[in-house]
Structure 1
Amino acid sequence: MTSSLLIQALIAGVTNGFVYALVGMGLAVIFKGSHVINAAQGDCAVIGAITAVLLLSQAGVPYLPAVLAGGVAGALICAAIDILLVRRMKRRGAGEEAYLLLTIGVALTLSAALLFFLGRASYSLPALGGDRVFVWRDAVLIEHAAWLVGGGLALTAGLQLFYRHTALGLSMMAASIDAEGAATIGIDVRRMRTLSFAMGGLLGAFAGILVAPLVAMDYHVGMSLTLKGFAAAILGGLTNPLGAVVGGLTIALLEAFAISFVSSSYKDVIAFSLLIVIMIVLPNGMLGRAGRVGG
């Protein structure tokens, strides 16, 4: 394996890793705040990206407002899942498996809605930096990939600061750790749960928006993003949103090296087979039991 091929694999792995990480962080934020696994996370990412594309290309909205609107769209969809569906099921004492079936149904419904209203067309955003590339030792880095990694780092740091240093973030942490105790000191636990859904949707939508210049979005991309994001979240510790970064980078690097050493046809088989081994050896995730309570 040449050094240029190794560098190219690292670039691809880190780039894809932050996409998986953001989807996984969104899943972990929602699970941490509600104990619900949101199987529609990837579809929220797709809808956020397509919203930005349509506003930019058909409504003439400038790039930044279109991107922000796409993020809001993802947040609103996930918040609606909680307000319209999860709350009703909680009042009826539904079990955790019922919520998983619910969100799987929502994911299929959103995918079908995209197919019905938009057809099989694919949607892409213009790349930040246009077609500029950087070449080092025959390895190529597209400028937008650098923006994607930078955006992923910024969102990760922002999430950490939000949970640790804002009153709202601390309230959401308290409600997720001890709902009854949080309620006794005046925290609206139901509102915190809805905000967790909204924040998870926002992170998912930004993942879709950041990857849309590199991978075209359509009605069936959502499930693939959900699976990779869920694997990232599990690998990092499902109750620790920041652990999803470790999980996402691990999965993407395994995929990239599988492509380089073997074949792109077997990347998912090799990556997920190695993930099974990792989870057998490290059942509490790569950060261990202590890492599962991070936020």
Structure 2
Amino acid sequence: MTTTLFIQSLLAGLTNGFVYGLIGLGISVIFRGTRVVNAMQGDFALVAGIAACLALDWLGLPIAVGFLGGIIAGALVGWAVELLLIRPTQARGGSEDSLLLVTLGGAFAVSAAALLYFGRDSRSMPGFGGNRSLDVFDAAIRVHAVWLIAIAIVVVVALRLFYQRTPLGQSILAASIDPEGAATIGINVPRMRTLTFMLGGAVGGVAGVLVSPLITIHYEMGLLLTLKGFTAAIVGGLGNPFGAIMGGLLLGLVEAMAIVFVSSGYKDVIAMSLLILIMIAMPNGLLGRRGRVGG
């Protein structure tokens, strides 16, 4: 194996890892704020990718505007899911299992709707920098992939500051830690849960618009992204949104090394097997304990 191939694999693993981490981040944000395991997170990304693609193809909008429209679409889907699926189920005393099944059914519904209205064919979307690439020690990485990594880091930092420094972020945490206590001091708990789903939808939308130029948009991509993101969230500690990024990077790098040293056909098997061993050694995830401290 050459050094160039190794570096190329590392770059691909980092890029994929940040995508998985963003999906896992959205899952963890929603779980932390509502205690709901959302099986639709990848479909938020799917809707965002489709919305951005349509904005660019049909309306001819600039890439940045189209991407912003996709992120807004993801947030709106999150709002609709909480209002139309989660809230009625909770009002009828639905269990955590019921909420998981509701979101799983919603994921299949979104995929079916994408197949019906968007079609079976895959579609590509331009990214920042077009198809231009940068050389990194003789390895190549697309300019858009660099943008993806940079924007993902900004999202993580901004989300941490949002929870720690803003009254709204602190209200969301208070509503998730002690709903009854939060209500007694005037916090609108249902509204905080809706905002949590919108925030998770927006994070999924960021992942969707960033990954769409690197892979083709397909009606089945939502389920695959959900599985990868869920793995990242579990490994990082489901209650800790920021651990999801670490879990995603670990997953992406393990996949990349599996392709180099074994075979691309076994990358998922090797990655999942190693991550199972990690979970046996650390059942709460890499940062699970830290995620529980302070909510």
Mark yes or no: TM-score above 0.5. Answer: yes
- 1:62 Cα deviation after fit: 2.2
Cα distance in 2, alignment partners of residues 62 and 131 from structure 1:
16
> Could you tell me which residue of structure 2 aligns to residue 231 of structure 1?
231
Cα distance in 1, alignment partners of residues 139 and 21 from structure 2:
24
**Number of positions where the alignment pairs a residue of Structure 1 with one of Structure 2:** 295
Cα deviation digits, residues 203-247 of structure 1 (max 9, x gap): 001101001111011100000000000000111111111110000
Q: Aligned AA for 2:103?
A: T
> Could you tell me which residue of structure 1 aligns to residue 219 of structure 2?
219
Q: Aligned AA for 1:246?
A: M
Aligned ranges 1:98-177 → 2 under 5 Å = 98-177=98-177
Unaligned runs of 5+ in 2: none
Asked if 2 retains the 8 angstrom alpha-carbon contact of 1:239 and 1:294, the reply is no
Cα distance in 2, alignment partners of residues 290 and 240 from structure 1:
7
Percent of matched pairs sharing the same residue: 55
> Could you tell me which residue of structure 2 aligns to residue 290 of structure 1?
290
TM-score (ref. length: structure 1): 0.97
Aligned-partner SS, 1:240 = coil
Cα deviation digits, residues 24-76 of structure 1 (max 9, x gap): 11011111111111111101101101101101111122222211111111111
Cα distance in 1, alignment partners of residues 147 and 208 from structure 2:
14
Cα distance in 2, alignment partners of residues 96 and 291 from structure 1:
20
Cα distance in 2, alignment partners of residues 294 and 269 from structure 1:
36
> Could you tell me which residue of structure 1 aligns to residue 14 of structure 2?
14
- 1:294 Cα deviation after fit: 6.7
Cα distance in 2, alignment partners of residues 154 and 289 from structure 1:
24
Cα distance in 1, alignment partners of residues 212 and 124 from structure 2:
5
Between 131-140 and 114-123, the greater mean CA deviation after superposition: 131-140
> Could you tell me which residue of structure 1 aligns to residue 24 of structure 2?
24
Aligned-partner SS, 2:135 = strand
> Could you tell me which residue of structure 1 aligns to residue 192 of structure 2?
192
- 1:123 Cα deviation after fit: 2.5
Aligned-partner SS, 2:141 = strand
Matched, 1:69 2:75: no
TM-score (ref. length: structure 2): 0.97
Q: Aligned AA for 2:273?
A: S
Unaligned runs of 5+ in 1: none
Q: Aligned AA for 2:275?
A: L
Cα distance in 1, alignment partners of residues 215 and 252 from structure 2:
15
Cα distance in 2, alignment partners of residues 79 and 248 from structure 1:
25
Alpha carbons of 1:293 and 1:124: their partners in 2 closer, same or farther (altered >3 Å)? farther
Cα distance in 1, alignment partners of residues 232 and 137 from structure 2:
30
> Could you tell me which residue of structure 2 aligns to residue 85 of structure 1?
85
- 1:176 Cα deviation after fit: 1.0
Asked if 2 retains the 8 angstrom alpha-carbon contact of 1:237 and 1:292, the reply is no
- 1:3 Cα deviation after fit: 1.8
